[in-house]
Amino acid sequence: MRKMVIIRSVRVFLATCFLLAFTVMFLDFTGTTAGWFSWLRELQFMPAVLAGSAFALAFLLVLTLIAGRVYCSVMCPLGVFQDFVRLVTLGRRRDLKSHATPCGGAAAAVQGWTRIGFLFTFAGGGLLGLHFAWLDPYAIYGRFVSFCLTPLLKASPFAQSITNWADAHGTSFTHAVEVVFPAMGFVIAAAGVVAFIAALAAWRGRTWCNTVCPVGTLLGAISKFAWLRPRIDEKDCISCRLCERTCRAHCIHIDVKAIDHTKCVSCFDCSAVCPKGAIKWKR
């Protein structure tokens, strides 16, 4: 269990670094930070697809085949943002209710077909040359920061003091970049989508990721073949349900000692909280 706590801590640290880096990159009003972190953008799923980057796509495929949807728990800014919202609104409560969709029922079928529907809409649109950017997680987060937060920051005293400092020192290290204020309709739409996803995250964890996001559905399908997946050891489990209530993806079914690996986002929380060390990562 101690080993899993350490692994979970490393995951949280890396996820925080990724979220901060992407946020700073999108907030750029000094003409510097976008350049610092542009290599991270190359590793994002949709930018890699749109750029035809075989290296990035091969990296993400191998990562997913090794340990499941690590991309979703560490590298995707929209996914980590949802975890941040969940942490802020719920803290580390252990008395949460599991919203796991019962296995094999009508609700599971509806959710499964909804996921497939969004995936085919997204992929079909791409084949027709349409990029449904409102379904692309990287674009959703990027638009939110660029349209809503960057203009606010640019208008703040903080931005002014950096500009004054740069002027006073005659440095080329930073220079003011013209921030274009988008039309109000775009600002409201970008903020509205993220507010909706944030509300879902506070209410039901990764519901957006496991119902709507086409990237999550695709990676979830690949995760079924991952080398390392969380498994419940029936002989050690005492059915305390701590893992079930902790799981942000609501994919643990203690009654049948099963985990839906297509929804698991490889966050390692379940293994870290289990008092009996009954959740092991193996094939």
Residues of this chain that bind ligand SF4 (CB under 6 A): 72, 76, 78-79, 137, 209, 213, 215-216, 230, 232, 237-243, 246-249, 251-252, 254, 259, 264-270, 274, 276, 278-279
Look at residue 204 and give its three-state secondary structure.
helix
- Distance between CA 12 and CA 237 in Å, rounded? 26
Complex with ligand SF4: residue 1 or 177, whichever CB lies closer: 1
Q: What radius of gyration do the chain's Cα atoms show?
A: 20
- Distance between CA 61 and CA 46 in Å, rounded? 13
Among residues 265, 257, 205, the alpha carbon closest in space to that of 229 is found at 265
Complex with ligand SF4: residue 29 or 45, whichever CB lies closer: 45
Residue 138 CB, shortest distance to ligand SF4, in Å, is 8
For residues 17-54, one letter each, b for 16 or more C-beta atoms within 10 angstroms of the residue's C-beta and e for the rest, the string is: ebbebbbebbbbbbeebbeebeebbebbbbbbbeeebe
Residue 262 CB, shortest distance to ligand SF4, in Å, is 11
Complex with ligand SF4: residue 68 or 154, whichever CB lies closer: 68
Residue 67 CB, shortest distance to ligand SF4, in Å, is 10
Look at residue 94 and give its three-state secondary structure.
coil
For residues 163-190, one letter each, b for 16 or more C-beta atoms within 10 angstroms of the residue's C-beta and e for the rest, the string is: beebeeeeeeebeeeebeebeeeebebb
Complex with ligand SF4: residue 8 or 154, whichever CB lies closer: 8
Residue 35 CB, shortest distance to ligand SF4, in Å, is 24
Complex with ligand SF4: residue 154 or 248, whichever CB lies closer: 248
Residue 149 CB, shortest distance to ligand SF4, in Å, is 18
Residue 168 CB, shortest distance to ligand SF4, in Å, is 41
Complex with ligand SF4: residue 187 or 240, whichever CB lies closer: 240
